[in-house]
Amino acid sequence: MNNAQEIAAGIIAGDFKSLARGISWLENEVAGYQQLLHITPTHKCAVTGITGPPGAGKSTLVDALIANWVGAGKKVGVLCVDPSSPFNLGALLGDRIRMSDWYNHPNVYIRSLASRGALGGLHTHILEITQLMSLAGFDEIIVETVGVGQSEIEIAGLADTTVVVVVPEAGDEVQTMKSGIMEIAHIFVVNKSDRPDADQFVHHLKQMMAPSFSNTSYQIPIIKTIAAQKSGIDELAEAIAAHQQQLHDPARKNWLLTQKALRLIQQKRMQDVDATKLLATISAESQNPQFNIFEFVQAY
């Protein structure tokens, strides 16, 4: 399997090995990888983004969602983006052990990706990888991000439904990042809701979101879960399905598509910039006491 046509044919046929090879091509920008992206998916596949601060239980929640959807006879694809080392770009967490029950399941495909320094909590080629996943005939695709707090526009532009996961004791943290969250969340999940003050936290969250409801007919649901016990997962799956069946604002969708296009254009124009060569050049130039990074970039 050495060409894009063979890989694409295997992916469309549902072969997970072909899908794994295709994703590796995209990650490493193997010559000809663009051909994999010129095939328009014929199967509508819903993409659900799961984001939230570290420790909120995102991976456990994803595991529970997989169980729910597989139990309903669905085929599920999962992309888990881990934070990566800023030096070697390898994954730091790799905590996919929470989903170990599904690695050999015929209706589940899980791929762990390192963010490779991407600032939005995703992966440099996440748009392309998700497009490739949609060729494989999945009923549901889950994208789990590194976490919030940087640039959430990536997950908002990628996912049909964005689920923000928080925990009851995260009051101050939610207050800090609420401006970004209010823009991207379609569903809030208060996980680990068996902890003290969960009900009070939900009440405060509703109060924080109240102003955003005045300009829209869609009311963001807040769902309490205990992912480790599979509690609240049925309600979450129902909320995701309900959101994806609604008619959404075309202006917002077009704006998000514009953000995708801008990012892809930026990637295309950056193709000739090699990080290794750039490092070597900067290492040499920075020996000069008069080195100025802004002048360097202007002249590069």
| DSSP H or E stretch at residue 15 | none
- Please state, rounded to an integer, the average pLDDT across all residues of the chain: 81
Mind listing the pLDDT tens digit for each residue in 145-194? 866 544 455 666 678 898 989 888 765 555 545 556 666 788 999 999 99
Highest mean pLDDT: which range of 120-124, 137-141, 245-249: 137-141
Contacts of 169 (CB under 8 A, 6+ apart): 195, 197, 201
Exposed, middle or buried by CB within 10 Å (0-12, 13-18, 19+), for 120?
buried
Q: Which of 39-48, 78-87, 279-288 has the lowest mean pLDDT?
A: 78-87
Q: In this structure, what token pair is assigned to residue 213?
A: 């409801």
Q: Which of 36-45, 63-72, 145-154, 214-223 has the lowest mean pLDDT?
A: 145-154
Edge-to-edge strand list for the sheet holding 222-224: 108-114, 76-82, 140-144, 46-51, 161-166, 187-190, 222-224
The C-alpha R_g of the chain, in whole angstroms, comes to: 20
* pLDDT tens, position by position, 263-274: 778 877 887 888
Say yes or no to pLDDT of 257 above 90: no
Q: Which residue has the higher pLDDT, 95 or 45?
A: 45
What HEC string does 187-208 produce? EEEECCCCCCCHHHHHHHHHHH
pLDDT in tens, 4-36: 889 999 999 999 999 999 999 988 888 888 888
- DSSP code string of 41-52: PSS--EEEEEE-
Instruction: Report the distance separating Cα 6 and Cα 98, nearest Å.
Output: 33
Q: Is the pLDDT of residue 50 over 70?
A: yes
Q: What is the pLDDT of residue 241?
A: 94
Of residues 123 and 243, more confidence is placed in: 243
Residue 132 has pLDDT above 80, yes or no: yes
Give the pLDDT band of residue 77 (cuts 50, 70, 90).
very high
Asked if 195 and 167 count as a contact pair (C-beta separation under 8 A), the reply is yes
Name all domains of the chain by residue range, CATH numbers in brackets.
1-39 (no CATH), 41-249 (3.40.50.300)
125: pLDDT strictly greater than 90: no
